[in-house]
Amino acid sequence: MNPGELDKLAHLVADTLAPATAAAGGRRAGALARGSWLPEPVRPEPPARGGEPPAWSGAAQPLGDVAPLRGGERASPHRESTGEMTNLVRAAAAGRGAPVRGAPTGRTTVSGKAATRRGLSIAVPIGVSNRHVHLSPEHVTQLFGTGLTSRRALTQPGQFAANESVRVEGPRGALDGMRVVGPARGATQVELSLADIERLGIAAPIAASGSLGDSVGGLTLVGPAGKVALARGVIVSGRHLHLAPDDAARWGLRDGDRLDLRCGDGVRATTWHGVLVRAGKSHATEFHLDADEAHACGVRSGDSASIVGVHPKHAVRRALVTEREVVRLAAAGQAIPAGALLTPSARDRARALGLAGA
């Protein structure tokens, strides 16, 4: 066919299709009026969205069904499964469900060390420790002539705030009415804040209660029955967390560990680092900080602090041994250090050389 015949055929086809396309609507009729016999493309309407994903998408399938967990591990009890999370998100977005839960805060019932290693926030009560003095039996007699009498019980088991108080005299000033905490101890200990030692005119170290090796003297205690000049026993008590045995076991903490604790709200919120853990049968769970520290972060006794970091006292770093180190040990006739971590190539070389510990 020549070009003229092809053109006639095209017009014939267009004339045949014109009645059908004209009935389809104004837009197609307009297109024909412009000389085009092809219909304009129409974007299809999106399918209706439901709260449940289609079965073929796999979105609602738990991850454990796709890749079974090794060693019988279980998903975290603080999170929904992957499929449940997907359904919750879709339902919440469609306005048909509750918002998806986040990670919990506050006290946790997770047992073992995992409770403090997952970044969870563990709440503990705060006790603001004001300046006070612990007295030896000899100094109780010298200052008061009789034993101590209880005014009120304290949080820590067996301890009490006594009715008795003393005047504390230093080189530059004095503090009246310092409370005595009973019962009597083996050695006299005066616990002050940094503001207190500045007022008294002495330079006392920051130390844990009972650690008097670096303590100083220079103060005189005055009671109704006499005076006691101290040659040692004055400290600034370091902040610490008393832990009851049950809480220590629940949170995987031990005596001597160090913690990071966050206190307060708003612009005065503060994170205290290096907080000493004092755990044992004679302790009740309570975070102790002195009046200076409490004022700094705007908290008082009865408020809560949150454990946000743990630094175990007994953590041991395992040495990493490379293949080059294995060759060096073999040449020196030495064994691989106990508990060391070996790279795969180092382990193969160690076995080939017959090194002990490989």
pLDDT of residue 224: 96
Task: Enter the pTM of the model.
Answer: 0.56
Are 24 and 142 in a shared domain?
no
**Mean pLDDT, to the nearest integer, of 252-281?**
93
- The number of distinct structural domains making up the chain is 4
Does residue 107 form part of some domain?
A: no
How large is the average pLDDT for residues 179-188? Answer: 95
Q: Mark whether 188 and 87 lie in a shared domain.
A: no
What tokens does 107 get? 């006290």
**pLDDT value at position 48?**
62
Q: Label residue 351 by pLDDT band (50, 70, 90).
A: confident
Same domain, 63 and 161: no
User: In this structure, are 176 and 227 located in the same domain?
Assistant: yes
Based on its alpha-carbon atoms, the radius of gyration of the chain, rounded to whole angstroms, reads 38
User: What DSSP character marks residue 326?
Assistant: H
pLDDT at 287: 96
* Residues 67, 70, 75, 80, Cα dihedral to 10°: 10
Same domain, yes or no: 138 and 199: yes
Instruction: Give yes or no: residues 195 and 280 share one domain.
Output: yes
For residue 315, is pLDDT > 70? no
DSSP string, 205-270: PEE-TT--TT-B--EEEEETTEEEEESS-EEEEPPEEEE-HHHHHHHT--TT-EEEEEE--GGG-E
236, part of any domain: yes
CB atoms within 10 A of CB 196: 24
Q: Are residues 85 and 140 in the same domain?
A: no
Rounded Cα gap, residues 10 and 324, in angstroms: 82
15, part of any domain: yes
Average pLDDT over the chain reads 80
Please report the pLDDT score of residue 183 as a whole number. 95
Q: Give the residue with greater pLDDT, 356 vs 195.
A: 195
Residue 157 belongs to a domain: yes
Going by C-beta distance under 8 Å and a sequence separation of 6 or more, which residues neighbour residue 277? 240, 241, 243, 248, 253, 254, 255, 256, 257, 258, 259
Same domain, 167 and 278: yes
> Are 19 and 93 in the same domain?
no
> Given this model, what pLDDT does residue 316 score?
56
Structure tokens at 140: 């109780």
pLDDT of residue 318: 65
Whether residue 327 is found in the same domain as residue 194: no
pLDDT digit string (tens) for 157-179?
A: 999 999 999 999 999 999 999 99
The reply to whether 98 and 179 lie within a common domain is no
Q: Tens digit of pLDDT for each residue in 69-127?
A: 554 444 444 455 556 666 666 666 665 555 444 433 343 333 344 444 444 578 999 99
Mean pLDDT over 119-141 rounds to: 90
Last residue of a domain, one of 77, 102, 127: 102
**Residue range(s) defining the domain that contains residue 338:** 320-353
Residues whose CB falls within 8 Å of the CB of residue 160, separated by 6 or more in sequence, listed in order: 150, 151, 152, 153, 154, 181, 182, 183
- Whether the per-residue pLDDT at 323 is higher than 80: the answer is yes
pLDDT at 331: 83
Q: Does 292 lie in the same domain as 324?
A: no
| Position 349 in a domain | yes
